[in-house]
Every structure is written in structure tokens, then in C-alpha cells.
Amino acid sequence: MSWIEEKGPDRDVVLSSRIRLARNIAGYPFPTMMKDSDAREILDVVKRCFSVSTPFSGRRYSVTHIKDLPMVDRQVLVEKHLASIDLMQHSDVAALIMDDRQRVTIMVNEEDHIRMQCILPGFQLDKAWEMLDRVDDTIEAEVEYSFDDRLGYLTTCPTNVGTGLRASVMMHLPALTVSKQIGAVLQTISKIGLTARGLYGEGSEALGNIYQISNQITLGPSEQDIINNLTVACQRIFEKERMAQQAMLKVSGKQFEDVLWRALGTLTHARVMEIKEFMALMSQLRLGVGLSIIPGLTAENVNELMILGQSGVLNKRAGRELDDADLNVYRAETIRNRLNEILQA
Amino acid sequence: MLCEECRQRQATVHMTKIINNMRSEIHLCEQCASNHEEFASITPFSMNDLIASFMDMGAGHQPFVRSATVKCPACGMDYAKFKKTGMLGCRECYRHFSNELLPVLRKIQSRTEHSGKVPKRSGSSLLLKKQINELRQELKIAVETEAFERAAEIRDRLKALEASYREQGRDIK
Ligand SMILES: [Zn+2]
Ligand SMILES: [Zn+2]
């Protein structure tokens, strides 16, 4: 059970809430200047915090050295938002420590010595912070962090210094995107210290209409202030998105419903599907499920299907690296089968 | 991080791109991003990694004078590399490059003083200061809600904390 299959609040618009903390261990240079022997020592120190003999918040943690991990598995971790692309690029010395529910992951020797994250389904930043704060306390009991009285937690990049905290919410904003209000929304949030990322593909529209909103400022406000600021902004955006959805439903009625049902039709019958088309259809399906127009499916089903259709996950499932043509056929087949299975259950 | 297209300006627009089933990250400056149609709906992005673009401005927009060969004595990180990547090499770099860093921090962060979590083991004076601030806040609420008994209690604890803070030779604002 990870954020993908679990139920979360506000799941009609929110996929996941994530908190990341950047920390460095005192007495070692940051990863930009450290030697391989430093990296090994750091990994040993962090691993010790999660060793089996010292139960950590009652959960089981596994340690994976990135260099031992096949490429396809690395891609799967990134697609599931459990590790960063950056971690994979530091593969010689990097490691990933993960709990058995895939909620808490600790990336070691990424841009900073330690990048820990907690990712939860739906909108629950407070709970994610509460959990990660405890993980941070437990690591701190074993190691001394690089900390400055004035600047707070010292990070490799000064954009993370202070709290070292990056909170982000992954959300689905189809109606704001289609109605072209998204530009204004993103402009507004940039004025209050927040930043947005789109999950993009080729062409002009956001891939799957999925956006990630996070805090830009890490130094000055406290952790709770940062989270509160982001929470309030997100709630406004959800409100706007829901209003835009209702407006579309009211104005376009049957035509709007038709688009959503056709998405289901295509997903259950297509034989070839590119990632871009897939993400667009998943967005329509998610909207149909969220508005209770399409019965028999939940937001969690949609999350599962979305991850299932990602290239790395498909390659892993197939047990080999598929070429693009084969991948598009395999995607259509996998999604078709799983979707029919869910609908018939 | 530099813009991947022009390699001239700081990359401030980031996106995850999936083309032909391959996932990659793209980092562009605002100018280059504005030439891409796919960014049109999402720009203007807020600035995330503004480091290098502000570096040359320094305090009071004075032209930058430090030689590119100046190195951090602790880790060997040189200024040119820091400016190029926006990344530091060790905790000493923060002190060594502080003249250049502080104006940058003022621009990209809200303040230049941390007010969040403090590691318990490195705490001492900072932890005390934090506790004092929290107690002052509690005292204010107690007085406002006319919980005078509670207020008296808090005041006593505050006095004790402030005394030990002064013993460490620090001023209380
Ligand atoms: Zn550029
Ligand atoms: Zn240094």
C-alpha cells in the first residue's frame, strides 16, 4: 500500500501530498565536494539509524544501493514519485532507504547527504510533516546535522537553506487548464512564495493536466508557516477548479459527459496507445470519476491505472525493455485488461 | 543551474518531459522557455534557482570584484564553480562566500534568519531563544484572555529563561 492505492482527503483534485527535508551531516563536505570514502561513511551512518536492531517507528526499512538496481527499477521508483531523477544520477554512491508502506523514503548522497520524504495520498500536508518531523528527530538522535544558528540547516544549494523543507501537492486541474485560467492561477501563486511545475509532454497542453505546487522559500518562515501558506493557497485552487468543473458541466452538459464516457470507451478498447494520449484520457477518466459521472471506479483505481501505464512500470511488467511500438501496444493491452477487471469486479 | 538551451542564464523553468516514453527533466531560463509553445500556459514561473543571476549584482548592485580563483579554505570549492552551479561545497562555504551569498539570500528567501526547527543537540542558545519567544506568545494570549494565574506562572518561567540566556552573553531583543 502506497499513496497510489490508499484513500486520501480531497481526492477528487489531489493525487498526493509530499514533504521533503534536506539535511547534511556535520564534519563532511556536501556531496558536491565529498570523496567516495566520505559518501560510504555517510551511508553507513544513515543506515545505522534504520538498522533492524533499532526499530524505527515500528516499521521495516529496506536499503537499496542505486548502483545495484537495474535501470528499469530506477525508472519505476521515479515514476512512482518515491525517488528523484537526481538520486539516479548520483548512482555510484547513492542509496535509497524505504519503509514497507512506501510512505517514507530517505535518499542518501543525492544533492544533499540526506533527502528524506514522506508522501501521502490526497491532501494531508500536516500529517506528512508530522511523520517526517519524527523521522528527522530519530536520525538526529544518531548524527549531528550541519546547522547554523542564523541560517538554520545548511544545504548544498542556498535555495533550500533554513528549514530545508520542500512541501508539494500534486493536483489534477483539468477544468482550469481547459478554460485557460491556469496561467493566472500560477502567476498569483508565484507572488506568494510558491512555485508550480507541470508534468509535461510534447505539444502545448499539460500532460494529464497534472501540476505540482510547492513552496519556494525555505529560510525565514517556520516549517508550520510554510505548510500553512501552501495549504491555504491549495484550498483556493481546489475551490476554483471545482467551480470551473461545475461550470463546464452546466454549460456543456451532455457534450461534456460524452467526452468523459468516450475516454472510458477508448481506454477499454484501444489497441495502441502513446503516453501522451494515455495521460490525456486518464485526465478525462479522473474527471468523470471525480464528478461521479462514471460509476464503478474510484480515484485510487485511476491512480493505479495512471502508474500502470507509465513506461518504466510497463517495461518492468513485461520483463524486458520494449521498443516504442511494442510499448504502445503493451500499454493499451495492460490498461484495457486491468480496467475491465476493475469494472467487472 | 544554467539554462540547457542558451547556457547563459539561470534556469528558472523546470518541467518533467515525457517524449517517446522516456522521462527527462528540462531546465530553461524564462527567455528560452517563452520560445517554447508548451510553456506558454504555465509561464511565468516563479523563480526557484536564481543564484547565479543575482550573483553579479552583489550588495547595492556593485560590480562583482572577487576573483574567480578564490577558494573555500575548507573544501576547495572555487567561486567560479559556485556561481556556475549555484551549489556550495561545505558548511564553511557559507561563511567564506557570505558577502556574495547574503544579497542572494535576501532576494530568493523571505528573510535571512531561520525561525524553524532547531536540532536538539546543537540547540543551547538558539533553543533558549526559541523557547523564550514561544513563552512570550503564550504570555500574550494568557493576558488577553485574562488568565492571570497562568500569566504569572509563564512570567516566572520567562524570567528564568531570560536570565540563563543573558548568562550566555547574548542580548534579548
Ligand atoms: Zn536560456
Ligand atoms: Zn567549502
Q: Decide if A10 contacts A122 (C-beta within 8 A).
A: yes
Query: Would you state the pLDDT for residue A202?
Result: 41
SS3 A3: coil
Q: Which pLDDT value is given to residue B173? A: 46
How far apart (Å, rounded) are the C-alpha atoms in residues A19 and A216? 13
Sort out which chain A residues have CB atoms less than 8 A from B23's CB and list them.
Answer: 75, 78-79, 85, 310-312
Provide the chain B residues 35-54 that lie in CB contact (below 8 A) with chain A. Answer: 37-38, 40-51
Furthest-apart CA pair in chain B: how many Å? 69
Which residues in chain B have Cβ-Cβ distances shorter than 8 Å to A207?
A: 18
Cell numbers linked to A33: 565536494
Which ligand is nearest to the Cα of residue B7, counting in written order? 1
Degrees to nearest 5, angle at CA B70 with B65 and B74: 140
For the stretch A113-163, pLDDT in tens is 999 999 999 999 999 999 999 999 989 988 999 999 899 999 999 999 999
How far apart (Å, rounded) are the C-alpha atoms in residues A209 and A237? 14
Q: Is A309 helix (H, G, I), strand (E, B) or coil?
A: coil
Q: Is the dihedral of CA A311, A313, A316, A317 positive or negative?
A: negative
CA distances (Å), A329 to each of A52, A225, A272, B17, in order?
A: 43, 48, 4, 21
Among the residues of chain A, which ranges form H helices?
A: 36-49, 71-79, 85-89, 125-140, 174-178, 182-190, 223-269, 275-290, 299-308, 311-318, 324-344
What pLDDT band is residue B125 in, cutting at 50, 70 and 90?
low
Q: How far is B157 from chain A (nearest CA, A)?
A: 23
- Ligand 2 centre to CA of B97 (Å) is 9
pLDDT for position A169: 96
Give, for A213, the enclosing helix (H) or strand (E).
Answer: strand A206-215
Does the beta-carbon distance from B75 to A218 stay under 8 Å? no
**Chain mean position to CA A92:** 24
Contacts A–B by Cβ distance under 8 A: 199
pLDDT at A56: 58
Q: Do A190 and B46 touch (CB under 8 A)?
A: yes
Looking at residue B169, what is its pLDDT? 53
End-to-end CA distance of chain B: 38
Complex ipTM value: 0.84
pLDDT in tens, B36-75: 655 544 433 333 344 554 554 443 444 444 555 578 999 9
The predicted pLDDT at position A327 comes to 96
